[in-house]
Amino acid sequence: MKDSSLTKRHAALVEQINEHDYAYYVLNKPKISDREYDRLFHELQELEKNHPELATPDSPTQRVGGRPLDEFQSVRHIVPMMSLDNTYSRNEVLAFINRVQRLVPDEKLEWLIEPKVDGVAVSLRYENGVLLQGATRGDGSTGDDITSNIKTIRSVPLRLKESVTARAPKINTPNDAQAELKFDETPDNTGVPNVLEVRGEVFMTIDGFQKLNYRRAEEGIEPFANPRNATAGSLKQLNPCITAGRPLGIVIYGVGYVEGMNTPQTQSSLIKWLATLGFKTPEKTWLCKVPSQIEVALNELDSLRHGFSYETDGAVIKLDSIPLRERIGYTARAPRWAIAYKFAAEQAETTLKNIFIQVGRTGVLTPVAELEPVSLSGSMISRATLHNEEDMRRKDVRIGDKVIIEKAGEVIPAVVEAVKDKRSGNEKEFVFPRNCPSCGAPVSRNMIKSTEGVAWRCMAADCPAQIKGRIEHWCSRDAMYIEGGGEKLIAQLVDKHLVRDVADLYALDVDTIAGLERMGVKSARNFINYLENSKNRDMYRVVYGLGILHVGLGTARILGRHFRSIDDLKNSDLNDLTQIADLGETIAESIITWFAQDSNRRLLEKLKNAGVNFESQLYADSGTIQSGALAGKTFVLTGSLPHLSRKEASEKIEQLGGKVSSSVSNNTDFVLAGEEAGSKLDKANQLGIKIINEQQFLEMCRE
C-alpha cells in the first residue's frame, strides 16, 4: 500500500472508530458488533505500529493510556471554575428566583433545570477541534493537568464534529399546560472554534462502580466508598492505563472560554450546540418560563433520576439567558444566576437483625447495625453505623427493631431512628461490652471523645483489630499510599501471622502475597511495587502513618518543617515540642509518650532497616520557602471556603512560606474566613486582625 493510500486508510479508520465510539458511549446506540469494532481497532493499531508517523492526536489508540506520570502539572484556568451555592429547601429556591428578579426587575426570566451529576468537575480545552488538555477544577483558579487520563474516557471526543445541526438533544418543558418550548437559534456558522474550553462532570456509572468494587473485593483490595470517590481516585491516577480500565463517563454542560466563533446566547441552545460538536450533554433538561414550572421540573427530575446511568444528588437551576448572566454577575465564590438544589438524603426501612462491635486502629469501639438487606441509592445495604453507645441509647435502637436508615455520602449508611410503633415486644436492648470483642482486654471510657460523646476504647496495644487498623492506616493515601493495602488483604496477613506491625510489610514477597486467598501474581506484584515505592515517602507521611494519638496530617507536616529527621523528633523533649506554635502540650505529651515506648522504638528500628525514608524534605525546603509570597505571615482558618479544603489552603500557605495557626492571637496576620465562621472570627474582630475571603487569599498567593 502506497503512502497516500496508507494515510487515507488511517484517516478512514480513525473516523469510523470515533464515530462508533460516539454512537456507543454518547448516544447509547451501537451500530456494529463488538467483534467488528475490535477488528477495526486492531487494524488501526497494526497500521500505527508499522507506520508510527501516521498516528494523530485524535486517533482512538491514544485513549489506551501512555507511560505513568511522575506527578501532575498545574493548569491555570483562563476563566475561574466557580462552585455553586446550594440549598435543600424549595422555599430557598423561590427566594433565589426572586432575588435574581430584583437585580433585573424589567426582564422576563426563563430558567433551565439540569440534573446535578454527582461526579468530579473538569475542564476540556480544544484547539482547532482537537483535544489539547483536560484539567481538574482544583481551587477554581488552578487545577491539575489530567489530559492523559481524560483521553481514556470514551465519551470524550478527541476531535470535535464540525456540524452544528445534527443530533441535538431534546430540551423538555415541565409537564405543565402553560409550558412552551422556545430556543434561540444556534449560531449560523459551521466548523469548530479556534479555541474552546468546556466544563463538565466526570462520573462513574453505577453498574460499573458495582462491578469495579466486586473485582477489588475479589483481589483483596479495599472497595471504594461511592462512585464519586472512585471517580476522583481514577482521575488522579499517575498511570493512565489504570484509569483506562475504569468505567468513566462525562457530561458537558457549559463553556468557560471560546475564540473564533459566536456561541449561543441561551443555556438551552448552548447544550444543543455542544451536542452537535460531539459532546455527551445532560440527557434531560427542563426549560421553565415561570417560577411555578420549576417546582414541577424538580419533581419530574426526582422521579426520573434513578433511571440514569450515573448518580445524581440534585438539580442545577440556571438562568437561561447568557447575556443577562453577565449583568447579574458573581459573588466571590459563586454565580448569582445559578443555584444547586439538593434532594433530601434517601431513606429506607428495614429490620435491625443484630448489633456487633467494630474495633478501630486506636481501639475505639463502634457499634454497627446488621440489617436485613435493603435497596438504597441503587445499592443493597446490609450494614449501618450507630456511631457510639450514647447515640444508640439516645435513639433507643434495639435488636429486632424496624429502623430507618439514611445514606447521605457516608462510607456506610447511618441508622436514623427506630420505628417504635412497629415494635412487637420481642425486641432486645443491646448490652455494650466491657471487654474488647477482638482480644478480650478490658475497655476504658476515658481518653477518646467522638463527635457525639465519649467512646469506649480497648487499651491493649497487641489487639488484632487495632493491628489491622494501624496497618490499613499506614497504607492509606495520605500516609504511605500503598495501593492494595485494604481491609481484606491486611486481615489475611494479620490472621495468618505474616505481619504484626507495619514494618513487617516490607519483608513480604510476591510468592507470599500471591498465595493468599483471592490474590494472583499480578496483584501481588503490584502490591510489592507499591510497598517499595512507599519507602521514599517524605518523613511527615511516615509520622502520620505511625498513628500517634492526636497527630493528624497537619501536625505531621508541622513536625516535618521543624525536625530534620524522625531520629531528631524521637530525641526531642517536651520543651522542644511546646516551643513549636500550634503544637500544644497535649500533642507534645502524646508524641513524647509514643517515642518513649520500647515497642515503638523497636518498630522505628525495623522500618529504618527496611529502608523507609526518615529524612524530611519539608525541613530541607524550609529555607527556600521563606521568599514565598506569604513568607513570615501567620494565618488562621475558620469556616468553610467555597473552593479550597482546609488541607489545600494550609498547604498553599506553607508552600509559599507562611504559617498556619489554630488559634487567633496578636501574632496572627490574617484570618481566612469562609461560611459559618465561628468564634475565631469574633476574636479577630476584637483584636483588629485583618479578615480575608478566599478570593483575596488567592490574589495574595499570586503576588
Query: How far is Cα 500 from Cα 508, in angstroms, rounded to an integer?
Result: 12
Lowest mean pLDDT among 242-256, 524-538, 626-640, 669-683: 626-640
**Parallel/antiparallel/unpaired status of strands 670-673 and 690-692:** parallel
Looking at the chain, the whole-number percentage of residues with pLDDT higher than 90 is: 43
Verify that 30 and 87 share a domain, yes or no.
no
Domain stops at, among 342, 368, 402: 342
593 is written with which cell numbers?
A: 509518650
Give percent above pLDDT 70 in the chain: 86
**471 φ, ψ to 5°?**
-70, -40
Evaluate if residue 401 carries a pLDDT over 50. Answer: yes
Give a yes or no: residue 208 inside a domain: yes
Cα distance between residue 344 and residue 346, in whole Å: 6
Which residues are paired to 585 by β-bridges?
none
Query: Is residue 214 assigned to a domain?
Result: yes
Per DSSP, 197 falls in state E
3-state secondary structure of 600: helix
595 versus 651: the higher-pLDDT residue is 595
Average pLDDT over residues 370-396: 84
Q: What is the mean pLDDT of residues 112-119?
A: 93
17 domain residue, yes or no? yes
Q: Are residues 132 and 34 in the same domain?
A: no
Query: Does residue 422 have a pLDDT over 60?
Result: yes
- Give the three-state DSSP class for 702: helix
CATH number at residue 56: 1.10.287.610
Residue 387's domain comprises 346-446
Active site residues: 116
The residue among 361, 350, 415 whose CA lies nearest residue 388 is 415
Question: Please, what sign has the CA dihedral across residues 116, 208, 122, 553?
Answer: positive
- Position 53 pLDDT exceeds 90: no
All cell numbers assigned to 192: 469548530
End-to-end C-alpha distance for the chain, whole angstroms: 58
User: Of 446, 469, 500, at which residue does a domain stop?
Assistant: 446
Q: Is the dihedral of CA 504, 509, 512, 518 positive or negative?
A: positive
pLDDT digits (tens, 9 = 90+) for 287-320: 999 999 999 999 999 989 888 888 888 999 999 9
With respect to residue 519, please indicate whether it lies within any of the assigned structural domains.
no
Give pLDDT, residue 539. Answer: 94
In the sheet where 634-638 sits, what is the strand order? 659-661, 634-638, 670-673, 690-692
Residue 642: all three cell numbers together = 467555597
Q: Give which of 416, 359, 427 is closest to 392, Cα–Cα.
A: 416
Same-domain check for residues 181 and 285? yes
- Using alpha carbons only, what angle is made at residue 410 by residues 243 and 377, rounded to the nearest 5 degrees? 80
For position 368, which CATH number holds?
2.40.50.140
State whether 330 and 245 are in the same domain.
yes
User: Could you tell me if 360 and 231 lie in one domain?
Assistant: no
701: confidence class by pLDDT, cuts 50, 70, 90: confident
pLDDT band at 64 (very low <50, low <70, confident <90, very high): low
Same domain, 338 and 350: no
Residue 660 burial (10 A CB sphere; 0-12, 13-18, 19+): buried
Q: How many helices (H) and strands (E) would you count in the chain?
A: 25, 24
What mean pLDDT value characterizes the chain? 84
pLDDT score for 167: 40
Strands 402-407 and 346-359: antiparallel
The pLDDT confidence band at residue 615, using thresholds 50, 70 and 90, is: very high
User: Same domain for 373 and 333?
Assistant: no
Whether residue 499 is contained in a domain is answered as no
If you write DSSP's letter for every residue of 378-423 in order, what string do you get?
Answer: TEEEEEEE--SHHHHHHHT--BT-EEEEEESS-SS-EEEEE-GGG-
Please check whether residue 589 is in contact with residue 550, taking contact to mean a CB–CB distance below 8 angstroms. Answer: no
**Nearest-10 Cα torsion for 700, 196, 228, 84:** 50
Residue 556 lies in a domain: no
Same domain, yes or no, for 276 and 296? Answer: yes
**Half-sphere exposure at residue 578, Cβ-oriented, CA atoms within 13 angstroms:** 8
Q: Which of 6, 12, 19 is nearest to 54 (CA)?
A: 6
Q: Quickly count: other Cβ atoms within 10 Å of residue 497's Cβ.
A: 8
Pair 21, 86 in one domain: no
Q: Give the range among 111-125, 408-422, 631-645 with minimum mean pLDDT.
A: 408-422
Residues 20 and 18: their CA atoms lie apart, in Å, by 5
What is the model's pLDDT at position 383? Answer: 87
Model pLDDT, residue 554: 78
Q: How far apart are CA 355 and CA 369, in angstroms?
A: 5
pLDDT of 647 higher than 80: no
> Does residue 249 lie within any of the structural domains?
yes
Q: How many structural domains are present in the chain?
A: 4
Rounded to whole angstroms, the Cα distance separating 69 from 110 reads 46
Q: Tell me: pLDDT of 566 over 90.
A: yes
Instruction: Specify the pLDDT at position 332.
Output: 67
Question: Which cell goes with 270?
Answer: 448552548
The answer on 379 and 239 residing in a single domain is no
Residue 561: predicted pLDDT: 85
How many angstroms separate the Cα of 362 from the Cα of each of 423, 446, 548? 36, 13, 9
Q: Lowest mean pLDDT: which of 65-69, 167-171, 324-328?
A: 167-171
In a domain? residue 467:
no
Q: Are residues 334 and 384 in the same domain?
A: no
Q: Which of 342, 359, 394 is the last residue of a domain?
A: 342
Predicted confidence at residue 241, as pLDDT, reads 81
Q: Do 176 and 100 fall into the same domain?
A: yes
CATH number at residue 673: 3.40.50.10190
For residue 166, pLDDT over 70 is answered with: no
